[in-house]
Amino acid sequence: MNIPETFKQAIADTFYDKDIEIWTSGTIKDDEGSIVENGKLEKIDSFKGNFQFSTREYIQQEYGKEIEANAIVTCDKTVAQIGNILVYNDKEYTIKSLVPSDSHITILVEGDDNG
């Protein structure tokens, strides 16, 4: 089924109200090769999306995979990849899976579940 762009935009305008960033992850080393920091390296995307915490059981049942994730993010498009870091509300989450559909993409993430 082909979803019209006007419908996609109406959904985005209604539901995608959270500021989300995508960062690459990796290790930062000093000039001598010692590890200085692990974590986000470079911001590669920012967009409006929907963020909600969920149970691992629901995610596994809904998406049919054994995914260690505890939150679901939906958006209309992103360049995110598995292993990138998603930042929402100043908290970091690791991207575990990407599930594209006709009208949006679902990003399954794992991170701080204390809200």
The whole-number pLDDT of residue 113 equals: 62
Q: Which domain holds residue 106?
A: 5-111
The whole-number pLDDT of residue 9 equals: 73
CATH number of the domain that residue 31 is part of: 2.40.10.270
Per-residue pLDDT in tens (0 to 9) along the chain, 115 residues? 677 888 777 777 777 899 999 999 887 777 887 777 777 889 999 999 999 999 888 888 888 778 889 999 999 899 999 999 999 999 999 999 999 988 789 999 999 765 4
pTM of the model: 0.80
Phi, psi angle pair for 14, to nearest 5°:
-85, -45
The whole-number pLDDT of residue 47 equals: 95
The whole-number pLDDT of residue 94 equals: 94
Q: Which amino acid is at 34?
A: S
The total number of structural domains in the chain stands at: 1
Exposure b/e, 64-76, CB count within 10 A at least 16 = b: eeebebbbbbbbb
> CA of 79: how far to CAs of 4, 25, 35, 56, 84, in Å?
21, 14, 27, 24, 10
Among candidates 85, 91, 82, 87, which has minimal Cα distance to 114? 91
CA 104 to chain centre: 13
